[in-house]
Structure 1
Amino acid sequence: MYSQNTDWIYSFIQMMMASMIPLLMVGLAGMFSEKGGISNIALDGTMIIGAFVGVFVANRLCVAYGVPLLEVNKASSYITGFWPRAIIYLVSMLAAGLTGLLFSLLLSFAANRLKSDQIIIGTAMNIFAPALCLFLAFVLNLSGKQDVYKLNVDTMLFLIPNIPGLGDIPYVGRALFQAVYPSFFIGILLLIGSAVVLNKTRFGLRLRACGENPYSAAAAGISVYRYRYIGTGISGVIGGMAGLVYATSFLTEFDGDVGGFGFLGLALMIFGNWKPLTIGLAALIFSFFRTLGSGYTLIPGSSEWNINSNIFFLIPFLATILVLILFSKRNRAPKYDGVPYFAERR
């Protein structure tokens, strides 16, 4: 009886972690770009194009391991063993990250060299990314079916049922180390690494200087353009990887949509005040509300609440709006975030 009453808690936490990691990653992606002074609202598009390429590569590798094209969304039934799955996962993540990097160069070039409005460029990229992905899926017939604009995704292929040793820890093991994706550990490492890089390294100090006052940074001998390119490039890599994490955690078919996670990531970046650890806390809070909206049926007795289910689906978006209203004015973005830098004016 006790086990039945607590099973939903573990399932709820596992769903929270699955939501938290892509949110955390895209929040960190936005932070790196904006710390250098480039306002990157193209994160949703970066996630989309990263997810597309990552899923495409994963599917092709599945076929290479003998999975029929029309069954790639059931690849977990064909591919067994740790190393084949690990190879597919790592190569797919690298492909998604590299694609995000190349995609982010469009924003970097337009912002740094053309001095274009970064909001307009980011908006255009968000429109372009899903259109390009759907066009390629249709033209190349990647679904294996005629006139279908989708890619098959297997959410079980990379799921780790139980991590030996850690999964047996009372309470914590079942919640965090059973039915977990490798992206959980990647996300935690990125969070710790981002905090160290930004606050404890010369690179982090110079990147922040380019976002706070690029003219003073240039006077100190720092190449502002270079650091802005690097910051936006890091943003693209993490954003592309976040797209693949989202696709392989939630989707069975990828159709050019990542559930608005790119925009939610921007919201939690603002809530987290452009600081890695507070962005991590914000990701945890946002993922709780999102899981409450989509997984409320896990709660015992929820069927008797007589509440329209659409109310629960609105919860994460209402919470996002409320959080931004309460905290956005108190938080301070980098002073030159979104402001073009003109080297000749220093």
Structure 2
Amino acid sequence: MLETIEQIFPYAMAYMAPLLITALGALYCERSGVVNIGLDGFMIVGSFAGAFTIVNMQDKVPSGSNLHLWLGLLVAFLVGAIFSLLHAFASINLCANQVISGTAINMIAGSLTIFLARSITGSGNIGIKMGFVPKDIPFLSKIPIIGPLFFTNTYITTWLVLLIVVLSAIVLYKTSFGMRLRACGEHPQAAASAGISVYKMRYIGVIISGGFSALGGAIIIVTYAGEFNGSVAGLGFLALAALIFGQWKPFGILGATMFFGIATTIANVSGVISSLQAIPPVYLKIFPYVVTLLALIVFSKSSRAPKAAGEPFDAGKR
């Protein structure tokens, strides 16, 4: 059993990383008071921008260099941040329904990127030559039990995302910026009376959300996917579920996305692992979603989203 877990866990960590950074972006957005249903769209935009950048740079960098991959991730983040301004302007300035705005983002992103990809390649797919190679972390991978699970065959992007989680926990709960951001999502009128620009903080929350989500889409390209095909398999919506499952807290989201990563990986590799072949594959595939629904039902009374999430800010309201 332990050997089976050791085989599955590195793949689960790789699957978890883009899901985690996307859910973390949604955390910033909702903590500022804006609901972001457009996570899937931002991930698609990021995967397109990252793949396009990498394809155009991969023949211009020295052999063995990963500079083009890092540039792809950076461009994806920037493009996602810029693209998120559409959602920010509609939700914050125009006071549009945030769910409808996010749905529009998903529709625009999917259609626009496929159109651009077909115009560029003719097929709609943009494949890169090689992404990051999973590696063992020296010394740490030799630790019994923990080493094979966490420090063997890991992508550097996974550790980048985990570092961002730790930094986000510090920023949100230990800095004045984090307190202002959370205040705008809980009591925006009180925050405004204290001299905080609610519009500015909400813009920052949406921009971080768009950038992180797009980064998640690009991480998929440089780790286990290898090409842009116009879809991220609904990971944006799964990230939204992880946000709720994790109770709008960074480490809660980490636990939720790790659970999704393990459960989904088990479902994907069940056909080649003898100990799992006795279980019908369909049960394993629906397992994480069924558990999520049950958890949401059980914890619905104790679950508490930011009070002002989804509500347009009215400066004259008290």
Q: 1:246-294 CA distances to partner (integer Å, 9 max, x unpaired)?
A: 2333324321111111101110111111111111111112222212211
Q: Which amino acid is the alignment partner of residue 302 of structure 2?
A: R
Pairing 1:331–2:303 present: yes
SS in 2 for 1:170: coil
Gap change, CA 1:153 and 1:314, over 3 Å in 2? farther
Pairing 1:243–2:223 present: no
Pairing 1:315–2:287 present: yes
User: Shift of residue 22 of structure 1?
Assistant: 1.4
Distance in 2 between the 1:255 and 1:197 partners? 35
Gap change, CA 1:238 and 1:130, over 3 Å in 2? same
Q: 1:56-112 CA distances to partner (integer Å, 9 max, x unpaired)?
A: 11121112248xxxxxxxxxxxx43xxx11x12321111111011011111111111
Pairing 1:286–2:260 present: yes
Distance in 1 between the 2:152 and 2:312 partners? 47
Distance in 2 between the 1:179 and 1:101 partners? 31
Which residue matches 2:126?
Answer: 151
Which residue matches 1:72?
Answer: none
Q: CA RMSD in A?
A: 1.8
Q: Which amino acid is the alignment partner of residue 48 of structure 1?
A: I
Pairing 1:271–2:245 present: yes
Gap change, CA 1:253 and 1:310, over 3 Å in 2? farther
Pairing 1:129–2:109 present: yes
Q: Which amino acid is the alignment partner of residue 129 of structure 1?
A: A
Length-normalised TM-score, structure 2: 0.94
Q: Check conservation: 2:263, 2:284, Cα contact below 8 A.
A: no
Q: Check conservation: 1:292, 1:315, Cα contact below 8 A.
A: no
Matches within 5 A, 1:203-218: 203-218=177-192
Which residue matches 1:342?
Answer: 314
Distance in 1 between the 2:185 and 2:149 partners? 39
Distance in 1 between the 2:293 and 2:223 partners? 25
SS in 1 for 2:274: coil
Q: 1:58 aligns with which of 26, 29, 54?
A: 54
Gaps of 5+ in 1: 67-78, 142-146
Gap change, CA 1:298 and 1:173, over 3 Å in 2? farther
Q: Percent same amino acid among aligned pairs?
A: 39
Pairing 1:44–2:40 present: yes
SS in 2 for 1:53: helix
Q: Check conservation: 1:270, 1:328, Cα contact below 8 A.
A: no
Distance in 2 between the 1:102 and 1:38 partners? 17
* Pairs aligned (count): 318
Q: 1:116 aligns with which of 96, 99, 104?
A: 96
Matches within 5 A, 1:95-114: 95-114=75-94
Q: 1:176 aligns with which of 142, 147, 150?
A: 150
Q: Which amino acid is the alignment partner of residue 180 of structure 2?
A: R
Which residue matches 1:70?
Answer: none
Which residue matches 2:22?
Answer: 26
Distance in 2 between the 1:300 and 1:160 partners? 25
Q: Check conservation: 1:58, 1:88, Cα contact below 8 A.
A: yes
Length-normalised TM-score, structure 1: 0.87
Q: 1:281-313 CA distances to partner (integer Å, 9 max, x unpaired)?
A: 11112222212211223533333x1x4433332
Distance in 2 between the 1:172 and 1:88 partners? 32
Gaps of 5+ in 2: none
User: Shift of residue 178 of structure 1?
Assistant: 2.4
Q: Check conservation: 1:50, 1:241, Cα contact below 8 A.
A: yes
Q: Check conservation: 2:51, 2:227, Cα contact below 8 A.
A: no
Distance in 1 between the 2:60 and 2:299 partners? 49
Q: Which moved more, 1:222-231 or 1:160-169?
A: 160-169
Gap change, CA 1:153 and 1:8, over 3 Å in 2? farther
